[in-house]
A and B are shown apart, each in its own frame.
Chain A
Amino acid sequence: MIVCPNCTAKQLDGTIFCTECGASLIDAGPPESTRELDVAAVENHQTPSTSGLPSDENTLSDHVVALIVVSNRRRIEVDLSDEVLIGRADPTRGIMPDVDLGPFGGYDAGVSRRHAILSYRDGTYRVEDLGSANGTFVNGRQIEPMRATPVQPGDEIMCGTLLLRLEGHHRKR
């Protein structure tokens, strides 16, 4: 049995697309799977190497925000006392982003393994696209890669075609 990462429907082993929601299940194979299939299309323009994220020790007090996955209204709590990497986990390549969009249909939406960095410094939230294959958009406008772009709570951040909304911690929905 496979459980669809997008809608949690139970599917037979060997199912390629979820019969309920249509999400691709190939990336959600058993953990021992090689996960080598079909990544080329999405990952062609993978940034060669962005390993060793620069970490900033001097941070302000805890800054917890939330990223809301707009399509299914799921909430991902994010602690921005350090920069966080948004992407898609790939254990075989040792890529474990802080915010893993894999379970939210990230593969289908064209989220790169290392897609973007979200940070908070000097009172400003920033998002920086890491040269992802399908780009990062803030409120519908594509941002320039490798350049930290200010964002505010309430802004929509789209990775590939996966739409997220940034929410400040004090706001509740």
Chain B
Amino acid sequence: MTPGINLQQTLSRTMLAVGDEPQLVYVLLEAHAEGVAQQLAKLPLNLCLVLDRSSSMRGERLMQVKEAAARIVDQLGPDDYFSLVVFNDRADVVIPAQRAIKKSDLKAAIAQIEAAGGTEMAQGLALALQEVQRPFLTRGISRLILLTDGRTYGDESRCVEIARRGQSRGIGLTALGIGTEWNEDLLETMTASENSRAQYIATAQDVVKVFADEVKRLHAIFAQQVHLSLETRPGALIRSLDQVRPFIAPITIVEEEERRWAANLGDWPDTGVQGFLIEVVVPALPVGDYPVLKLTLRYHLPAANLRDQVREELIRISMRPAAEVTHRVDATVKHWLERLVAYRLQASAWKHAAEGRLAEASERLHMAGTRMLNVGDTALAHTLQQEATRILRSGAASEEGRKRIRFGTRGLIGPVASDERETGT
């Protein structure tokens, strides 16, 4: 089998009733690697850890983080590069970018990190970006993994700017927040780009696993610069495009020309499924079968020296007289949509809350809870109900509840149950 990406489409409904109004169809697009694992070598990894060592990290947190960093060193191969930057009020390079060969030296350096001082993230990020760009890689994956437990003050916009600079050069950012003090708005903004994400680590004991999972995921990357273009038939519209698997993330889509949209989907690991939900508005059409959307996926397979690989997928619907059409919708599409709706509801709840509209905020959280209950996440549903009540009574959600909701609805509370998460969990 030639290595590549396999695409699978599922529609909320494939048969629509003829009428004189436009209708909404949800398209679930699922992608997974095929013929890759046996045939392709691992891509070299160029990893820089950026660790918060402010005084609040002292104790259990720092211990776990150092343990996690040492484990990462163990996971790396001789072709991988590693560097480590720490920051408090200032930033220091603890391990300059180098191949992960003298592992005991690297671990000894990690063991000497101590916690003290405040949190000034931008300096740490700037230094890390510099360090990660030192190795010259003809191919491979460069990433920053940031871990923080606190709020940085005054340099937020600089943090975002540095993150964007890296992302524009193909250097993704994984931002991990531990505890309840860190600024989730900042981490989410910094990671609102392909190859980047923020994740909430609720307890220090999870740090080691979260780090290890991330390195495993990066090692599994096989396709790079995945790009999706969507071409609609006249009258049809793309209303939204969101990633739903392995976690929820809104995706920026750009209208390149009339009836053609495009989105960058970043690098993909060969484990698990990448799932996307597309909302398509279908215009009123007479009885018949119609292609409504053409999807074209383009990507590189650097380990096979294959560039600009292309997969196409045509989405078709049938228009039928109303009497022949049921209102049944596909259960899998509904499941992922329901999760996405919960995520959107909580996002709109925080917006309402910020504007002082507490009743609306509470209603949104309450409904998000109902949605999560339906998809089977009772723990998160419970948190949503609690915070819905709290916001009405005390005017604000708790820091922890807010983080659990923001990251939980996306499926980004660590350790995430890996990419193989199945429907219904």
A positions within 8 Å CB-CB of B:
1, 11-17, 21-23, 26, 29-30, 32-38, 41, 71-72, 105, 108-109, 161
Contact = CB atoms under 8 A, between A and B. Distances in A.
Interface stretch (B18-26, B106-114, B161-169, B221-229): B18-26
A41 B326 contact: no
Contacts of A35: 327
Closest 4 CB pairs of A and B: A14-B24, A22-B367, A14-B23, A12-B24
6 contacts: A13-B22, A17-B338, A22-B364, A37-B328, A108-B370, A109-B370
B337 A17 contact: yes
A112 to B, nearest CB: 16
A37 B21 contact: no
B374 interface: yes
Given A34-B328, A161-B370, 14 more contacts: A11-B24, A13-B24, A14-B12, A14-B23, A14-B24, A15-B24, A22-B367, A26-B327, A30-B327, A32-B322, A34-B326, A38-B334, A108-B367, A161-B373
Nearest to B240: A19
Contact of A36 (B12, B328, B334, B373): B328
B331 A12 contact: no
B367 A21 contact: yes
Given A12-B21, A14-B23, A38-B331, A22 B12 contact: no
Given A16-B334, A33-B327, A37-B327, A22 B371 contact: yes
Interface residues of B, number: 36
Identify which of B342, B345, B370 gathers the most chain A CB atoms within 10 Å of its CB. Answer: B370
B192 interface: no
A34 B328 CA distance: 9
Interface string B340-380: 01101100000000000000000110111011011000000
A71 B366 contact: yes
B197 to A, nearest CB: 24
A29 B370 CA distance: 20
Nearest to A73: B359
B327 A16 contact: no
Interface in B168-218: none
A16 B393 CA distance: 31
A34 B327 contact: yes
A32 B323 CA distance: 9
Nearest to A13: B23
A14 B13 contact: yes
A13 B337 contact: no
Identify which of A13, A23, A32, A35 gathers the most chain B CB atoms within 10 Å of its CB. Answer: A13
Contacts of A37: 327-329
A16 B329 contact: yes
A41 B338 CA distance: 15
B93 interface: no
B391 interface: no
Contacts of B373: 161
A97 B334 CA distance: 28
Contacts of B115: none
Contacts of A33: 326-327
Contacts of A17: 337-338, 341, 371
Contacts of B345: 22
Nearest to B369: A161
Interface string B314-329: 0000000010001111
A119 B23 CA distance: 44
Contact of A1 (B12, B21, B374): B21
B367 A14 contact: no
Identify which of B26, B341, B385 gathers the most chain A CB atoms within 10 Å of its CB. Answer: B341
Contacts of B326: 33-34, 36
A12 B370 contact: no
A23 B341 CA distance: 9
B16 interface: yes
A12 B341 contact: no
A1 B20 CA distance: 10
A136 to B, nearest CB: 17
Nearest to B26: A16
A35 to B, nearest CB: 8
